[in-house]
Structure 1
Amino acid sequence: MALLNFRRKDTAPAGPSTGALAAMLAGHSIEVMPRTAAKVEDFRALLPQGTRVYIAHIDGTPIDEMVATAARLSRDGFAVMPHFPARIIADATMLADWIARYQGEADVREALVLAGGVANPVGDFESSMQLLESGLFDRAGFTRLHVAGHPEGNRDIDADGGDRSVMEALRWKQAFAERTDAEMAIVTQFAFEAAPVVAWGKRLRAEGIALPIHLGIAGPAKLQTLLKFAIACGVGPSLRVLQKRAMDVTKLVMPYEPTELVAELQAMKAADPDFPIAQLHLFPLGGIGATATWATEQGRVPAERDSA
């Protein structure tokens, strides 16, 4: 997925991307897995200093690999946010052990707390709310806790209570945010259209859910790769953007880049002071190197602005 010795280009592409997207991409985060992170020779050559790096915990990944990846990224100066998937955590003892190991071995104080994509829980937990209400993150002094959001629906939740259940869960998390000292935000599944996710964000605001939204977008990748991941991850109506692209022979062989999507988001943000998206979270489905390089190029401020 990621490439060794990946060289960044020295010049940014022409057009509106040269600086127009810098504000939208400022402070973006990125997601890695231990097996892909192991292929990256030096994250400091790819990512801006202090970038928040989420570490996805796929069912079956040993906690030793997760903690080792977190320790490496932490030593390199990145803000590390490992996943805590409720349905693969057996009990409070295991949860406390993971928290202690991340703290003691990797100096981690942040977590993405989510249910996880496992159909049958292995133990006591089945939801992110149960992990949060255990009190273990608060007692350990975690400074930031993020939760998952699904602008286009979630198969696990939709099968049990649908939209009502989703909103009730988000209201619970909003109330939890108001009684914890940790900073909280919603990080979403990736999508391919701006308008539906912005409408979803505005609906949350109307429902009294004021948590910052970090919108997931897929980094550059082959169309076939994106379609595979989008279907596997349950991406909803915005999948039609990829399907339409697949019907255009001239675009079928060209790698997808999210530049147009980010430009549309930036335009919406500039036009609307109540724009609900706080920042972007990048899924490097086509490789860490390719996504990091794209973000650097699109987020680069033009020379004339640098000298102003």
Structure 2
Amino acid sequence: MAILGFKRKEASPPPHDAQLAAFLQGASIEVMPRTATKVEDFAAILPRGTRVYIAHIDGTPIDEMVATAARLRAEGMEPMPHFPARIIKDRTTLTDWIARYRGEAGVDQGLILAGGVAEPIGDFATSMDLLSSGAFEGFARLHVAGHPEGNRDIDPDGGIKNVSDALAWKQKFSERTDAEMAIATQFCFEAEPVIEWADAIRAAGIDLPVHIGVAGPAKLQTLIKFSIACGVGPSLRVLQRRAADVTKLLLPFEPTEVLTKLAAHKAANPDFNIASVHVFPLGGIKASATWLETHSKDEE
């Protein structure tokens, strides 16, 4: 019985935003083998054909990576495993990985990156080393990393020279490969720096489409921890301001605001080079999948 006759007010659904819904079409998401085991059936939470990146953390056996890719394929997803240069010993290892991914999971796309370890264990140190190897011939799609706020592992002085030179090299590589290429970025929390960066790389002759990274719904403490570990730059201030507001401290942080602004900019500037959204499910895959489903509907 309701106290004093008052009924609990149901939470109202979020307002429909057609621009945001359009912007989210074709969004991708990321898993690791250990997080994938927490999902009973990917087809129950993600649209068929969703591109699912498989993060390859140093120490994860290739057997687990390939098994995760095969499972995603069987459940109607498009697996895109990471190929981190610095944890791949040599070309024999690389070609073996590729053969297994293709043979056991039908993989024909990959995210090519340096990797999150300080020193290479073998012959490859950069994504350019991997791309130059020729091992990815026949792949339909190759994505490379982008850093809207720079990356101190690549540019220790805090500048952007090395990341800019790397993007220029990848642009030239895209002009001599049959694979579709795109830039997948680190996650950010602010629209304005992203717009400025995207416009700047385009002005510099980089016309690869950008898949902008955002963090899925998560506790604020979780996001701050991951952001510091991953070297997120000035847009971290968005989280810091939120942390200072005690009324919002316990509420999960969602990427709605930053993506709504980017979606509006895309609608007003159709040539804007951000083509898609990539979600890092730092608060759990199901939470991110639910957020995507809610906000990517075409109609209310």
Q: TM-score range by the shorter chain?
A: over 0.9
Deviation at 1:167, TM superposition (A): 1.3
Distance 1:20 1:280 in 2: 13
Change (3 A) 1:255 1:161: closer
Corresponding residue for residue 79 of structure 1: 78
Distance 2:260 2:170 in 1: 30
Give 3-state SS (helix, strand or coil) of 1:126's partner.
coil
Matched residue count: 291
Cα RMSD for the two superposed structures: 1.6
Pair 1:93-2:100 in alignment: no
Distance 1:15 1:103 in 2: 41
Q: Which moved more, 1:111-120 or 1:258-267?
A: 258-267
User: Aligned letter for 1:271?
Assistant: A
1:227-246 matches, within 5 Å, as: 227-246=224-243
User: Aligned letter for 2:23?
Assistant: M
Match of 1:284 among 281, 284, 289: 281
| Amino-acid identity (%) | 68
User: Aligned letter for 1:68?
Assistant: A
Where do 4+ consecutive residues of structure 1 move more than 6 Å? none
Distance 2:229 2:14 in 1: 34
> What TM-score, normalized by structure 1, do the two folds share?
0.92
Distance 1:17 1:238 in 2: 26
Give 3-state SS (helix, strand or coil) of 2:223's partner.
helix
Distance 1:259 1:17 in 2: 12
Give 3-state SS (helix, strand or coil) of 1:172's partner.
helix
1:153-232 matches, within 5 Å, as: 153-159=150-156, 162-232=159-229
Corresponding residue for residue 120 of structure 2: 121
Give 3-state SS (helix, strand or coil) of 1:113's partner.
strand
> What TM-score, normalized by structure 2, do the two folds share?
0.94
CA contact (8 A) 1:17 1:259 kept: no
Distance 1:20 1:130 in 2: 39
User: Aligned letter for 1:124?
Assistant: D
- Greater RCO (Cα-Cα under 8 Å, separation 6 or more): 1
Change (3 A) 1:293 1:13: farther
Give 3-state SS (helix, strand or coil) of 1:186's partner.
strand
Question: Per residue, is there more helix in 1 or in 2?
Answer: 1
Distance 2:238 2:82 in 1: 29
> Structure 2: any 5+ residue segments left out of the alignment?
1-9
Corresponding residue for residue 4 of structure 2: none
> Structure 1: any 5+ residue segments left out of the alignment?
1-10, 304-308
